[in-house]
Amino acid sequence: MTHQLMTTYLNESLLPYFFCPGCGHGMIVDHLNAALVKLQLDPHKVVIVTDIGCSGLADKYFATNAFHGLHGRSVTYATGIKLADPELKLIVLMGDGGCGIGGHHLINAARRNIGVAVVVFNNFNYGMTGGEHSVTTPPGGLTSSTPLGQLEQPMDICQTVAVNGASFVARATSFDKDLPDLLSTAIQNDGFSLVDIWELCTAYYVPNNRFSKSLLERTLTELNFPTGIIRQEVRPEYSRAYRQSVAAEAGKTAMPSRPIQPKYESHLERRMGIVIAGAAGKKINSAATLLCRGAVLAGLWATQRNDYPVTVKSGHSVAEVILAPTEVGYTGISKPEVILLLFKEGLASVRSQLAAMTENDLLVINRELLPLKTEARLIPIDFKATGRFANKKEYWAMIALAKLLIEVQVYPLEAIKEAVSARSEFAEDNLVAIEVGIAL
Amino acid sequence: MRELINGAQAIVRAAIHSGCNFFAGYPITPATDILLYMIRELPKVGGIAIQAEDEIASMGFCIGAAMTGKRVMTATSGPGISLYSENIGLAIMGEVPMVIVDVQRMGPATGGATTVAQGDIQFLRWGTSGGYPVIVLSPTNVAECYRLTCQAFDLAERFRVPVFLATDKETALTLATVDIEAFTALPVRERVDAPVEAEFIPYRVTAADEVPALSPYGGAHFLRFTTSTHDEHGQLTKSPDKVRVLNERLAAKLEAHRDEIAMVKAELQVGAETMVISYGVTARAVQGAIATARESDRSVSALTIYSLWPVPEKEIKAALRGIRRVIVPELNLGQYRLEVERLAPDGVEVEGINRVDGELISPQEILEQGGLL
């Protein structure tokens, strides 16, 4: 250890504490200081993160790093700091209020076993806003927002995090003499720790309930809430586990470019909107991307917009492709030049576009979907007569695209064949499908 | 050489080229792709990317990591920005350099998850309590997703403030053909931490518009960060003099440096009395419309705004000289039109073309409704 012997981690010039007379907070801060002195941590490597509430005033007394954040979110800041720098010691100070509003973060920090030690200043009510009830207010407890007594079951903070994977969990009262030992064990634990410390709020809970140290201890017994170490186990700490799990990725090229060098020629003079309307799982989007890649190989500019329901394996799948001799700006297609209507699931999505088409436009259609009222020139395809692809519907889009490129001089077939070949997966079958489309 | 690429991929590439090494996010259409790419790609450059338990934690993780010196980004859509709100305020208050991507979808509430919209433009500016300024950049296409993400990181470093990239479903998820020169990285602004030898007072400055140097957690000094009004030491204070100095500086550090932030593209035509002002995906339809209008000898000027907030007031006013009629097409009910209206001289008509049905505004609509045919 490089730093000098630490006799205190408190900024003595700011003492005495600003807490109410008899409040447990000052006792807990003293215990925490004693724990830090015992551990002799480098204060530059300690970050005290506080929540909102009276306990949130505590970080100012520590001559360490400090982060005072939003109500209930202290564990998230501590998690971010720990993830970024596993060498730091993170200590979160929060009240029972923070455990309520931020309970979700406590559960998830426990699940991750992130290396953060949470110290709960649990005095059963909101001391900073006027003594309202919290998630830990005992049954019948009188608070400003439960003037006739608390009806809700108190949350067992310890069991909540223990059952979700916290590697060190303990409960104590601010009066416990061995609290510094318990806190130092919690801070030393390489993982998520929580110590739930029961204490007195002399501003509200004590006067409202004639509460006292002995009643606090009786409440623990009545609720059957255990004290001392509740759970202690060795489990990988998240910030280090993450680094281990991704170690093999280091040095690989991130977001590599897949540049396409135009090498074919297209005589397309005007922007062309091509809609491929099909069904989920039939490689509609993949075929559309290959159409685009072929187009870029042929010196064109392409865009592709996909539409499908959130249930990705059912319903329609529609890809809208625009090919143009210059850069494509606006990507809407109100009237396509071409629709490939392959499956009935796609019909509803293209109805208005179908209605807008004229005799100058082209509808390549699965003949099973005929008859269909349209002005467009029809090219029906009998997919049942495509031999090996009769029942392989995921190749129908590629067959139809080949047929389109034969019928309309968009760009050379070699370009889409090259695009298909560049993608090894399914390349062989796709190339055969193209030949089948050409032969139709 | 060209590339088929969408806005989400361009944003991720730009983030990595800008030195981003920490990302936290929560799945939400249409921003999920950015989360997934970051989780896959950041470890390759030694970075950390994590799916948080919710949007609030996404922001919390990023803010914590930023204060250790990481360059951080998160990405979400409108409903997620709602949940980011309180932490946006904390990032303003504590002066956290961070980039927040909003892939806009149709609101309000869950709205249309896969539907394009520009409905968050005022929300991003006023999205947290107090009314303090942030920076909002908005790319019109995929190439600009790259460039403006790089600039967002640069401005976040420069001003220690959340910088938003306001994009949309159409730009983020539609594949486009882009010349690969568009993906040339901008120079990355090195962070200059507070000097190691000198005393470090976290929020001490010598000028009313100054951005204090950071000394990250784990470094040479003690760093105090707080969500509360604070003095230069980062200690809570209610002293009116200290509170005023802090709060005025949070605004002045951006307001006094608008010139470093303002980004517009003016395409002015001599003699034109009509101007179309646009941003984001809608600007692409405007480009098509003005090209058509000019082909048929209609005079029309256009102004594309890349830095929506702070409003580039000087640039807008300059562009409006000689203009009698302004058209502001937007995929909302007229949010940025409010800014144009307050800047337009008396007698200048300001009209909107607005769609909130999930369809893009087309060049034809701009020509027709703008009287440019």
CB nearest to B65's CB, from A57, A84, A250? A84
Mean pLDDT in consecutive groups of 10 residues from the start of chain A, 440 residues: 83 95 97 98 98 96 98 98 98 98 98 98 97 98 98 98 98 97 98 98 98 97 97 97 98 95 96 97 96 98 93 92 97 96 96 96 97 95 95 97 95 97 88 95
Has the ipTM of the complex gone over 0.95? yes
Are the Cβ atoms of A331 and B61 closer than 8 angstroms? no
What is the structure's pLDDT at B208? Answer: 95
Best mutation target among A11, A57, A68, A291 (most B Cβ atoms within 10 Å) is A68
Q: Both A310 and A232 in a single domain?
A: no
**DSSP-based three-state secondary structure for A204:** coil
Are the Cβ atoms of A83 and B65 closer than 8 angstroms? yes
Q: Both A58 and A146 in a single domain?
A: yes
CB nearest to B174's CB, from A107, A262, A303? A303
Residue-wise pLDDT for B212-229, tens only, equals: 999 999 999 999 999 999
CA–CA dist B91, B124 (Å, integer): 14
CATH number of B2-183: 3.40.50.970
Query: Residues B139, B143, B146, B150: is their CA dihedral positive or negative?
Result: negative
* CATH number of domain containing A169: 3.40.50.970
Q: Both A229 and A287 in a single domain?
A: no
The range of the structural domain enclosing residue A424 comes to 272-439
Q: Is residue A2 part of a domain?
A: no
What is the structure's pLDDT at B226? Answer: 96
CB nearest to A76's CB, from B61, B227, B235? B61
CA atoms within 13 A on the CB side of B260: 13
Extract the tokens encoding A224.
């059957």
Q: Is residue A257 part of a domain?
A: no
CA–CA dist A207, A195 (Å, integer): 26
Q: Both A288 and A236 in a single domain?
A: no
What is the structure's pLDDT at A1? Answer: 47
In A346-428 the beta strands, taken as DSSP E runs, fall at 362-366, 377-381
Asked if the domains B2-183 and B263-369 are classified in one and the same CATH topology, the answer is yes
Are the Cβ atoms of B67 and A301 closer than 8 angstroms? no
**Distance between first and last Cα of chain B:** 37
Are the Cβ atoms of B227 and A296 closer than 8 angstroms? no
List the one residue out of A11, A249, A109, A338 whose CA is nearest residue B46: A249
Q: Is residue A213 part of a domain?
A: yes
Chain B contact set for A79 (CB, 8 A): 57, 60-61, 64
Chain A contact set for B219 (CB, 8 A): 44
Q: Both A95 and A203 in a single domain?
A: yes
The domain segmentation of chain B, as residue ranges, is 2-183, 263-369
* CATH number of domain containing A338: 3.40.920.10
Check: CB of residue A166 under 8 Å from CB of residue A75: no
A212, A246, A280 — which closes off a domain? A246
Q: Both A241 and A314 in a single domain?
A: no
Chain A contact set for B42 (CB, 8 A): 254
Q: Both A229 and A285 in a single domain?
A: no
- φ, ψ (nearest 5 deg) of residue B241: -65, -45
C-alpha to C-alpha distances, A102 to A52, A99, A402, nearest whole angstrom: 11, 5, 57
| Chain B residue closest in CA terms to A262 | B1
Q: Is residue A256 part of a domain?
A: no
CA–CA dist A119, A106 (Å, integer): 12
Average pLDDT taken over every residue of chain B: 97
Strand partners, B176: A303, B5
Structural domains counted in chain A: 2
Average pLDDT of span B179-189: 94
Supply the pTM of this predicted model. Answer: 0.97
Extract the tokens encoding B187.
């120079």
| Chain B residue closest in CA terms to A263 | B1
A228, A246, A264 — which closes off a domain? A246
Q: Both A171 and A224 in a single domain?
A: yes
A246, A262, A288 — which closes off a domain? A246
CA–CA dist B160, B254 (Å, integer): 10
Q: Both A164 and A18 in a single domain?
A: yes
| Chain A residue closest in CA terms to B218 | A45
Q: Both A305 and A240 in a single domain?
A: no
Q: Is residue A176 part of a domain?
A: yes
CATH for B263-369, options being 3.40.190.10, 3.90.380.10, 3.40.50.620, 3.40.50.920: 3.40.50.920
Q: Which 8-state DSSP code applies to residue A62?
A: B
Q: Both A340 and A422 in a single domain?
A: yes
